Amino acid sequence: MKILGIDSSGVVASAAIVDEKNVIAEFTVNNKQTHSQTLLPMIDKVVEMSETDLSEIDAIAIASGPGSFTGLRIGSATAKGLGLALKKPVVSVPTLDGLAYRMITFDGIICPVMDARRNQVYTAAYTTEDGVLKKIIEHKAVDINEIMGELYALGKKVIFMGDGVDVHRETIEKEYKGEFCFAPSFVSKQSAAAVASLGIVYFKEGKYETAAEHTPFYLRKSQAEREREEREKKNS
117-132 per-position pLDDT tens digit: 888 999 999 999 998 9
Classify residue 232: in a domain, yes or no.
no
Q: Judge if 64 and 12 occupy the same domain.
A: yes
Classify residue 236: in a domain, yes or no.
no
Q: Judge if 199 and 170 occupy the same domain.
A: no
Q: Judge if 9 and 85 occupy the same domain.
A: yes
Classify residue 234: in a domain, yes or no.
no
Average pLDDT of the residues in 156-172: 97
Q: Judge if 76 and 111 occupy the same domain.
A: no
Smallest CA-to-CA distance from 123 within 144, 107, 103 is with 144
> Percent of the chain having pLDDT more than 70?
93
Rg (CA), the chain: 18
Q: Judge if 14 and 57 occupy the same domain.
A: yes
pLDDT confidence of residue 113:
98
- Which of 1-15, 20-34, 94-108 is least confident? 20-34
User: Roughly how many angstroms between the first and final C-alpha of the chain, as a whole number?
Assistant: 55
Q: Judge if 70 and 133 occupy the same domain.
A: no
Average pLDDT of the residues in 180-204: 97
Classify residue 25: in a domain, yes or no.
yes
Type of residue numbered 219: L
Mean pLDDT of the residues in the chain: 93
> Does 27 have pLDDT greater than 80?
yes
**Domain CATH code at residue 162:** 3.30.420.40
Give residue 34's pLDDT band: very low, low, confident or very high (50, 70, 90).
Answer: confident
pLDDT confidence of residue 226:
47
Work out whether strand 109-117 and strand 59-63 pair parallel, antiparallel, or are unpaired: unpaired
pLDDT confidence of residue 218:
93
The dihedrals phi and psi of 70, each to the nearest 5 degrees, come to: -65, -45
> Does 230 have pLDDT greater than 80?
no
Q: In what order do the strands lie in the sheet with 109-117?
A: 132-143, 120-129, 109-117, 158-161, 180-182
pLDDT confidence of residue 109:
98
Average pLDDT of the residues in 93-100: 98
> Does 138 have pLDDT greater than 50?
yes
Q: Judge if 83 and 126 occupy the same domain.
A: no
Cα 162 from Cα 128, distance rounded (Å): 18
Q: Judge if 72 and 117 occupy the same domain.
A: no
**pLDDT: which is higher, 33 or 68:** 68
Q: What is the pLDDT of residues 42-79, one digit of tens each?
A: 999 999 999 999 999 999 999 999 999 999 999 999 99
pLDDT confidence of residue 118:
85
**pLDDT: which is higher, 33 or 5:** 5
State which residues form the domain around 74: 2-95+190-227
Q: Judge if 13 and 89 occupy the same domain.
A: yes
Instruction: Say which residues have a Cβ less than 8 Å from residue 5's Cβ, sequence separation at least 6.
Output: 14, 15, 16, 17, 18, 60, 61, 62, 192, 193, 194, 195, 196, 197, 199
pLDDT confidence of residue 133:
96
- Specify the DSSP class assigned to residue 209: B
Classify residue 146: in a domain, yes or no.
yes
Q: Judge if 39 and 79 occupy the same domain.
A: yes
The total of structural domains in the chain comes to 2
> Does 235 have pLDDT greater than 70?
no
